[in-house]
């Protein structure tokens, strides 16, 4: 009975998914070609409804397991473990479900963008066609059987994809672990591992960013029909069997040094500067609301302490400081205070209030200065530049994300950069100026390796 209900549920979800995709394409075309406002409003409402149906169908397919899916995964794992015990090579292949969804979604977005180009030509629409078309092509290639695999054998680990083949020797691998990346409305599970020879001083900028975001040096392209934890355990067992080097590696020793250094940090420090900045932002915004309402216009923001090139030209240099505690609306204020409280309190406990205050001062000035330089006509407000300065210095202090500071900072920086580039109302100069200030100060005052055994009083 349960099996029949499961099959029926997945069939309904697939029907809703196909209908939702088709309806979304149709209503998107209607929206683009609509000539009056009433028709556009109706198309938007129907498009939103179609996307909700599509999202619900996807969620249902992710929730309802396939008939026999758990049994098949268990059998596959048992067969792989049997091959491992006898020393035979193991070849795992990815499931096609995720790539099928990628193909369908990219087909939807490519169709919408392609319809937009002739009716409303723009660089953005053309770029959308090119980008989604390329991803759709890659998803199509990956759907071809045999184009991707993971080979586990005595001579090493080989991950093959349509784009490239990667090989690792077992002695180069530290250990495997499964991890999950949480995103709005969806989460993805992966398996990654550390490289035994890769220390923070040798990993370079790109690997530093990659490790900071994922927490591992390398990530496998798929979980190959197994759960991420089962695959990680299987690969750990394979390394234990085939590797000849099992002692502490250079990477593990570096992580232990970072953990020992973090253990010396005083945890009883009160984040005074963070609390004062939070109080100042709230007080200034309350004053703004009493004078101008909840949503002040640019002239009112300038009068409240915001900065601009004209204000600096008029000799109001103090606005480079005051603009950091002025905010445009309640949402702007709450988002910034959340980031400041999260990252600021952690970093201030490590640096102490004096050095942290100096960082906030330098980051605020750099953020506002670069903002008015890049956007001379804009009125710039908000403490987000200081938050980026805090995150920039934090990623330098914890490049391997060994503690909460690094985890928070490496979550803020990539998401914040993408959000900055995609949101027209956000000041790119302010965020970039703060980030550069934090990174620069972090590298300039980075503790020397000889001093890492002693607690650094400041930067």
The per-residue pLDDT for range 94-120, each reduced to its tens digit, is: 876 666 666 666 676 666 666 665 665
pLDDT one-digit tens code per residue, 326-382: 999 898 899 899 999 989 998 998 888 999 999 999 999 999 999 999 888 889 999
Domain extent at residue 370? 272-451
Residue that is last in its domain, among 28, 50, 67:
67
- On whether both 446 and 315 belong to a single domain, the answer is yes
443, 317: one domain:
yes
**What's the pLDDT band for 459 if we cut at 50, 70, 90?**
very low
113 inside domain: no
Residue 458 in domain: no
Structural domain includes residue 39: yes
Q: Which residues make beta-bridge pairs with 165? A: 160
Q: Determine, yes or no, domain membership for 128.
A: no
Q: Looking at residue 375, what is its pLDDT?
A: 86
Q: Note the residue count of the chain.
A: 459
Reported pTM:
0.59
In a domain, 140, yes or no: no
CATH number, domain containing residue 336? 1.20.1540.10
**Whether residues 300 and 392 fall in one domain:** yes
Separation in Å, CA 381 to CA 18, 139, 344: 46, 43, 19
Q: Are residues 258 and 278 both part of a single domain?
A: no
Domain count across the chain: 3
Same domain, 278 and 424: yes
Q: Cα angle at 242 between 240 and 243, to 5 degrees?
A: 70
Q: Let me know whether 252 and 285 are in one domain.
A: no
Do both 342 and 200 map to the same domain? no
Q: Which of 267, 249, 259 is nearest to 453 (CA)?
A: 259
| Co-location of 214 and 277 in the same domain | no
Residue 124 lies in a domain: no
- Helix, strand, or coil here: 190? strand
Of the candidate ranges 56-65, 235-244, 372-381, the one whose mean pLDDT is the lowest: 56-65
| Cα gap 374→380, rounded to integer Å | 11
Q: What is the pLDDT of residue 171?
A: 92
Q: Are residues 357 and 399 in the same domain?
A: yes
Please give the Cα distance from 361 to 64 (Å, whole number).
52
Q: What is the DSSP letter of 197?
A: T
In a domain, 87, yes or no: no
Query: Are residues 369 and 397 located together in one domain of the fold?
Result: yes
Are 253 and 278 contained in the same domain? no
Instruction: Kindly state the tokens that stand for 348.
Output: 């201030």
Helix (H, G, I), strand (E, B) or coil at 111: helix
């Amino acid at each position: 009975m349960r099996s029949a209900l499961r099959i029926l549920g997945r069939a309904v979800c697939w029907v809703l998914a196909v209908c939702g995709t088709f309806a979304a394409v149709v209503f998107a075309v209607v929206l683009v070609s609509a000539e009056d406002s009433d028709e556009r409003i109706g198309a938007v409402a129907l498009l939103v409804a179609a996307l909700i149906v599509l999202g619900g169908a996807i969620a249902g397919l992710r929730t309802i397991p396939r008939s026999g899916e758990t049994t098949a995964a268990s059998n596959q794992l048992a067969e792989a473990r049997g091959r491992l015990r006898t020393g035979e090579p193991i070849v795992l292949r990815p499931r096609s479900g995720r790539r099928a969804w990628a193909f369908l979604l990219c087909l939807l977005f490519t169709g919408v963008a392609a319809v937009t180009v002739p009716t409303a030509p723009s660089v953005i629409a053309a770029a959308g066609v090119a980008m989604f078309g390329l991803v759709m092509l890659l998803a199509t290639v990956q759907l071809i059987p045999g184009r991707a695999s993971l080979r586990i054998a005595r001579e090493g680990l080989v991950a093959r994809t349509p784009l490239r083949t990667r090989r690792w020797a077992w002695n180069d691998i530290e250990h495997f672990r499964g991890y999950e990346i949480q995103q709005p409305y969806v989460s993805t599970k992966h398996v990654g591992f550390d490289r035994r020879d890769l220390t923070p001083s040798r990993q370079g900028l790109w690997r530093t960013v990659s490790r900071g975001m994922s927490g591992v040096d390398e990530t496998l392209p798929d979980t190959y029909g197994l759960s991420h934890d089962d695959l990680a355990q299987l690969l750990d067992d394979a390394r234990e069997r085939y590797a000849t080097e099992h002692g502490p590696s250079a990477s593990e020793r570096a992580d232990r040094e970072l953990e020992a250094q973090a253990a010396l940090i005083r945890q009883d420090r009160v984040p005074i500067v963070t609390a004062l900045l939070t109080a100042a932002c709230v007080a200034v915004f309350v004053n703004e609301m009493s004078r101008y309402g909840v949503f002040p216009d640019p002239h009112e923001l300038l009068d409240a302490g915001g900065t601009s090139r004209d204000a600096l030209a008029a000799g109001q240099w103090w606005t480079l400081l005051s603009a950091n505690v002025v905010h445009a609306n309640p949402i702007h204020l709450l988002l910034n205070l959340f980031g400041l409280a999260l990252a600021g309190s952690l970093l201030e406990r490590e640096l102490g209030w004096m050095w942290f205050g100096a960082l906030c001062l330098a980051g605020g000035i750099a953020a506002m200065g670069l903002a008015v330089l890049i956007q001379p006509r804009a009125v710039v407000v908000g403490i987000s530049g200081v938050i980026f300065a805090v995150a920039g210095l934090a990623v330098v202090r914890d490049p391997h994300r060994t503690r909460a500071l690094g985890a928070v900072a490496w979550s803020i920086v990539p998401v914040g950069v993408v959000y900055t580039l995609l949101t027209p109302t956000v000041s790119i100069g302010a965020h970039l100026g703060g980030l550069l200030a934090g990174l620069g100060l972090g590298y300039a005052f980075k503790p020397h390796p000889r001093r890492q055994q002693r607690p650094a009083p400041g930067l």
